[in-house]
Amino acid sequence: MDDHYFSADPSVPFQRAAVHAEVWGLELDLVSGSGVFAQGRLDIGTSVLFRETEPPAGGRILDLGCGYGVIGLACALAAPAAVVTGVDVNRRAVLLANENAASLGVADRFTASVPEDVDPAATYDEIWSNPPIRIGKQALHELLLAWLPRLAPDGRAVMVVGRNLGADSLQRWLGEQGLPTTRLASAKGFRVLETRRA
């Protein structure tokens, strides 16, 4: 099987690549790597997510499919009261996210793990994600149904999804699952969706 960014242990040789991102008025110098989503860059979808939203105020935040950590780390830096958990099946991504947290001085409030190492009883005030759409519809649905129910009663999830990758049908499907979802913004072929607990 070919390696993908959602492979647990990519076999492609590990090479780090610097990424500079301006997010919510913050300057982030990060390190990405081969075999991890958006190596060496801030992808367009995540850029849209940042541009079309305000940062969280604080609380317990989950960065679902964290990659090298840019979303969760931006949340941690923008909201000093936030405690952020990053989760990714890709162990290389988890390593990079934790290294980036240390270099940014937020390792006390940001921890990345593989899913099986996350406390199964943990709940979150907010979930932020550029979800791994390319894992396929069924796997994506299973992923979202595993994590979105962990939202606190007044919690919300904020996700960015490509329109041509099924954002509108995903919005309808989430509503059908009892997870009412609205569109916050649309830009550059992406939808920014907000999901609440019913």
53-96 pLDDT tens trace:
999 999 999 999 999 999 999 999 999 999 999 999 999 999 99
pTM of the shown model:
0.91
Three-class SS of residue 168?
A: helix
Cα–Cα distance list, 73 to 76, 102, 145 (Å): 5, 10, 24
Task: Determine the Cα–Cα distance for residues 1 and 168; give it in Å rounded to an integer.
Answer: 30
> Is residue 2 over pLDDT 70?
no
Beta bridge partners of 193: 159, 183
Percentage with pLDDT > 90 across the chain: 79
| Structural tokens at position 163 | 């329109």
Mean pLDDT of all residues in the chain? 91
> Is residue 5 over pLDDT 50?
no
Task: Determine the Cα–Cα distance for residues 143 and 136; give it in Å rounded to an integer.
Answer: 10
| Dihedral over Cα of 58, 60, 63, 64: its sign | negative
Give rounded-to-5 percent helix, strand, coil for the chain.
Answer: 30, 30, 35
**86 touches 112 (CB < 8 A):** yes
User: Residues, the chain, total?
Assistant: 198
**107 touches 83 (CB < 8 A):** no
Query: Which helix (H) or strand (E) is 150 found in, with range?
Result: none
| Structural tokens at position 156 | 């919300």
Return the pLDDT at 4.
Answer: 45
Cα–Cα distance list, 105 to 2, 23, 111, 164 (Å): 35, 17, 12, 37
